[in-house]
Structure 1
């Protein structure tokens, strides 16, 4: 094994290689491809005199007033550099004394970083050309306005990344919310762990920055491309529909739409008819999950709502529904995970807003993050209380629900209702020994439950049965689960894995994993759903009973230590035969040789498969599902 120092050195080498590759791709592929479409990033010296005059006027009116040059000398200490901010390191010389001085100028984060040069007409074709100059280059071209009388010797962009880990001793903290707020203030001043600088920066200036920020040589990244490539997102506003995906409007789930067609929207009536499997973004989040909670808040028969919140959107309709329910006198419990990474500030604000509205707000179990996606609605009906539940793979966030692929189950199955009640009691009170029937719950039963099912298929294969496992996750790194999958592969189980992020498992290794295939889908939407499916020829087939056929689970848990050991996660078993079939076909579609995807090789590298042997494009499974959901019939 490697020592901690050796591990850090190896990680640093890989990080440098990846950042260099990233910058190379921007410079040699993305920017040239944009230029072919008449979208160009221009330098100041490439502008005409008229263009420079227009931009100088913009600089004087909109940029100069918000800039603050900060000198460094005995009377001015080196300024605090906020993490992630873009800055200019400026070296100036006093012509009277000949001495050089350092100054820092922060590039305003509240102004667009790409400044339009104006729509330019290409002389060759007459087509409109979209020209931009970056804000940092515009400022560099006008530094004499910030340092009048000084000679500008050098000006380069740089960016600092700080350690943003949060360390709260939950056992000792009397008030977790207050402790988190204090820790967030401290995080702003975390130690720098990376310094990104322009590759044209002189050795003197780069060493000065490294010394002042106290970063080692391994933590300095010299990059040729524009620092902070998120600037390219601003190009999305250009009016070039021919370069964008066709507009897509999610449709109302068929089962919900069928109820709507006969009477006013009633999510509860649709759920009472049968379990509803949601597939976002193809199924509209707003007319399903959001409508479910809004109807619950307004329905006088609803007595209680219990909800987990890991990440949600600004101006969240989910939060509004919970507040409306509390104002209507319902019992409302919101479990807000205030330790959700980089959403801590927003979640603390939501927690306080919910508390002010009369919502019972809790923060989960000490030492664990609550990552499960759960809603529980208790409703008084003619035959007694009925519990309506939603179990999802994604956050209750209407914005990300349009760009992430996620699954959800709406059900009023009493078994799920009982499981959810026990789980919420465990999260809000003291119920450490709760047992569950249609849920697997981490950290107690997700890993053990999945490994038990993997071993079942292994045993079936060793007994001569046909057995398979299909998994769709974001990441897979848990050694115990990987070892179980290797053993199943050695026994002859056919294993298909669709993963988006980290995969520590290596497929196709002779004698170890030759029965495992791993593929990854990169497309218009971020693949975020989790599916676990198990079957063998000795088990009941689809349609042979209420829960027959392959055993299929969906939920919030990936195969990572943090999910399985340090978070509260929930997987729910799918029991409707047509929904089991739908989920299996979904994984099969993504694994198909006819689908465009990235194939993991036995050495851990990925190979892109985008065209068939004849050079024709392979199926874009996300576009295929858009078309499928758009044209599906509704039975009136």
Structure 2
């Protein structure tokens, strides 16, 4: 496999950009525009004919949800800076105000493209007997059905709100979707303005009676407009439009908060009332009524987006119908590692045999849950420690920790309250853990604790053995079904000691000195990565093979990018797999000749963080230095969060990471975009009927090396040049 041609294919000829000064901010790409480029790639999957129809609808919804969160947080932050007069430029040289102008232009085009894609998908769905019926196209039978459905299922939840001196303009919460109404009554033509919030507790797409095999829907707002007389008796609609509100959803927490949990409970209530950062209204809205809404919500012209089509595209996720499996991805059942099966499900026995790396979702995340459940039930386990950044609402992991604490085991849970949009859930989990008798700590006020570690201490004979799990993703059984992440299980003494030191740091602020296999941010993780890059530069200058492979979600930290530029200029061959944001400009002559960047977007969300350094031998090679981490190469992860970088020394696990996971990602064609020197992303066209290698399909079909049992790793199908053709 190490000789596969695709790993040594000629690099594209670097492009000369005479206008680019390699010492100027132009060497960096803007973070926000790079994120928007990623969301364009997500939207392109909604247009990909190789993707099943309803999965394309799902991609459309995801692109809309992503854009909402981007405005809630990133645009809200830039808006606040710009309004405060802050002109500090980003790494690429753009001020907050300049970034907002470019974001606004790009996002408007993206939203219009979403509408075009929705229209095309709607036509395709209709040919597949999934129809969205317009208000003026419903039948007499439909009207009778909707009249009953409205009274039984909709009317009790509605709150029609008049607007006059006795009824001030209502508060519209974040993501609130409403109808603005200009009403008129009887012969006297008495006028009334009103707002009708469309409740989020009811599906946006209401089902209509259908023949077997057919699915017919009508939008909820159309149902409301059909029944205005039930809400405002005697009135008729003279004019109307729909609008949707996005508010600033970032949180500010007082640094000296005496009770962090209570402070976050208050902050969550503030989030609901954040300032409006985007108002989307339907095209051709009546000017006077639109102005009332804008004035009441304190929205400026540049924060208003007029949209022809469906406002709130995110709700199209309701059209991903489970009873149409013919229009979804084929069912995939994650594997249980053979080694665990060999030991009759005993995780401790499987880990004792040898270090084990599981690749989720291809290997089931249930093994992580089983690890903690088994620890909770095992009378020989004396202590469990676990970090919780994000987890599911009814988390089996939290249940296992509670069970262990109630059984008298020493249980410590680090719950990160600052996990954006999961703060409320984490507060609930921390209360539940405290009631069970677990020790709950909240980490640092200034830094988020983003690392993923679970430690189980077990009495075996006359000694205590520490079993440790290091992950690249969250302890979240739901998202683990679609996020690609790594779970590393070990009972190595050094890795156990390192994990214990990290937990002592989180719970008691005792700095983890003498770490043997770990680096920790914000202290040593970044410097370790920079040292490995400098090592490769030294190898290149000495005429030895010098190579770096790295995979992450985002690369924007300026020092890391400049180090990669220096490495490229020294002759180090660099391949980066970056799902989302990339601030590095590859393939520029004299700056980044030897750097290639690709993004894999497909059925699963790439989430694992990996760094491989040839160590004087090139890649892949058994003497390479290989790391997994919870951290992306971003300023927040390297400088303002608690993260861990784990060096992998087990030969089988190293081979799995380098020769399976990274090699397959680099070989992927079916789901890959390549970043060009001019900042555009290009996707290799694939002719219909031709084979294109997909790393996701490869991982679904082939077991991981370190999870093999008595059959032995040698029997694992390897990724070969033929697979990649």
TM-score range, shorter chain: over 0.9
**Structure 1 length-normalised TM:** 0.93
Select the residue among 495, 498, 502 that pairs with 1:416: 495
Cα separation, 1, equivalents of 2:560 and 2:530:
6
CA contact (8 A) 1:426 1:434 kept: no
Give CA-to-partner distance per residue, 1:460-501, whole Å, 9 cap, x none. Answer: 112211211111101111111011111111111111111111
Q: Does 1:464 align with 2:543?
A: yes
CA-CA distance at 1:584 after TM superposition: 1.4
Q: Mark the CA change 1:238 to 1:54 in structure 2 (over 3 Å): closer, same or farther.
A: farther
What do residues 424-451 of structure 1 show as CA deviations (whole Å, max 9, x unaligned)?
A: 1010003135332211211111211111
Q: Does 1:202 align with 2:266?
A: no
Distance 1:36 1:617 in 2: 27
Match of 2:573 among 494, 508, 513: 494
The match for 1:105 is 196
2:240 counterpart of 1:155? yes
Backbone CA RMSD of aligned residues: 2.0
Return the alpha-carbon distance in structure 2 between the equivalents of residues 516 and 2 of structure 1.
25
Question: What are the superposed Cα offsets for residues 576-614 of structure 1, whole Å, 9 maximum, x if unpaired?
Answer: 2222121113112122265441111112211223526x8
Please state if 1:395 is matched with 2:474: yes
Cα 1:410–1:80 change in 2 (3 A) is same
In 1, are the aligned partners of 2:243 and 2:282 still within 8 Å (CA)?
A: yes
Could you tell me which of 22, 26, 31 is aligned with 2:114?
22
Does structure 2 conserve the Cα–Cα contact (< 8 Å) formed by 1:275 and 1:411?
yes
Distance 1:495 1:539 in 2: 11
Q: Aligned partners of 1:507, 1:36: CA distance in 2, in Å?
A: 43
Task: Indicate the residue corresponding to 2:363 in structure 1.
Answer: 283
Which secondary structure state, in structure 2, belongs to the residue aligned with residue 32 of structure 1? helix
Deviation digits for residues 210-236 of structure 1, max 9, x if unmatched?
A: 111001111111122322222221122
* Alpha-carbon distance in structure 1 between the residues aligned to 2:219 and 2:689: 38
What does 1:153-302 align with in structure 2 at a 5 Å threshold?
Answer: 153-170=238-255, 172-260=256-344, 265-286=345-366, 288-302=367-381
Verify: 1:346 aligned to 2:437, yes or no: no
Distance (Å, rounded) in 2 between the aligned partners of 1:3 and 1:627: 48
1:125 is aligned to: none
Q: Which residue of 1 aligns with 2:678?
A: 603
Q: 2:165 aligns with which of 74, 79, 84?
A: 74
Please, which moves more after superposition, 236-245 or 76-85?
236-245
Question: 1:165: how far off?
Answer: 1.2
User: Compared with structure 1, are the counterparts of its residues 593 and 379 closer, same or farther at alpha carbon in structure 2 (3 Å cutoff)?
Assistant: closer
Indicate the residue corresponding to 2:692 in structure 1: 618
> What is the distance in 2 between the residues matched to 1:35 and 1:590?
36
TM-score (norm 2): 0.82
**Which digits, 9 at most, give the CA deviation of each residue in 1:521-572, with x for residues without a partner?**
11111111111110044589955xxxxx111111210011111111111121
User: What corresponds to 2:23 in structure 1?
Assistant: none
Q: Quick check: 1:393–1:530 contact (8 Å CA) kept in 2?
A: yes
**Residues 576 and 598, structure 2, Cα contact 8 Å, conserved in 1:** yes
CA–CA distance in 1 between the matches of 2:683 and 2:131?
28
Partner of 1:554: 628
Q: CA deviation at 1:7?
A: 3.0
Distance 1:272 1:610 in 2: 47
Instruction: State the distance in 2 between where 1:313 and 1:106 align.
Output: 29
* Preserved contact between residue 596 and residue 611 of structure 1 (Cα < 8 Å): no
Q: Find 2:226's aligned residue among 132, 141, 144.
A: 141
Q: 1:313 maps to which residue?
A: 392
Separation of aligned partners in 1, 2:420 and 2:539: 41
The answer to whether the Cα contact below 8 Å between 2:668 and 2:694 also exists between their aligned partners in 1 is: no
Deviation (angstroms), 1:247: 1.0
CA distance in 2, matches of 1:583, 1:283: 14
Aligned partner of 1:504 in structure 2 is: 583
Choose from 400, 404, 423 the match for 1:325: 404
Task: After superposition, give the CA deviation of every residue in 1:304-357 in whole Å (9 maximum; x if it has no partner).
Answer: 111100000011100010001101111100000011101011100111111111
> 1:633 and 1:267 mapped to 2: Cα distance?
14
- The whole-number CA distance in structure 2 between the counterparts of 1:514 and 1:149 is 72
What displacement does 1:505 show? 1.0
Counterpart position of 2:458: 379
Q: Please show how residues 417-432 of structure 1 align to structure 2 within 5 Å.
A: 417-432=496-511
Instruction: Summarize the Cα distance change of 1:433–1:570 in structure 2 as closer, same or farther, 3 Å threshold.
Output: closer
Bigger relative contact order, structure 1 or 2, given CA contacts below 8 A and separation 6+?
A: 2
The secondary structure found in structure 2 opposite 1:312 is coil
Number of the residue aligned with 1:58:
149
| Cα displacement string for residues 387-419 of structure 1 (whole angstroms, at most 9, x for unaligned residues) | 110000111111111111100100011111111
Cα distance, 1:152–1:561 mapped onto 2, change above 3 Å: same
Checking the alignment, whether the CA contact within 8 Å between 1:92 and 1:150 is kept in structure 2 is yes
Residue ranges of structure 2 left out of the alignment (5+ in a row): 1-92, 712-725
Matched, 1:532 2:617: no
What is the CA–CA distance in structure 1 between the aligned matches of 2:233 and 2:221, rounded to whole Å?
Answer: 19
Q: Which residue of 1 aligns with 2:599?
A: 520
Q: Distance in 2 between matches of 1:300 and 1:565?
A: 40
**What is the Cα deviation at residue 16 of structure 1?**
2.2
Asked if the contact 1:305/1:378 (under 8 Å) is kept, the reply is: yes
Q: Does 1:91 align with 2:166?
A: no
- What corresponds to 1:8 in structure 2? 100
Shift of 1:168: 0.8
The answer to whether the 8 A contact 1:251-1:630 is kept is no
Note the C-alpha offset of 1:13.
Answer: 2.5
The structure-2 alpha-carbon separation of the partners of 1:60 and 1:185, relative to structure 1 and needing over 3 Å to count, comes to: same
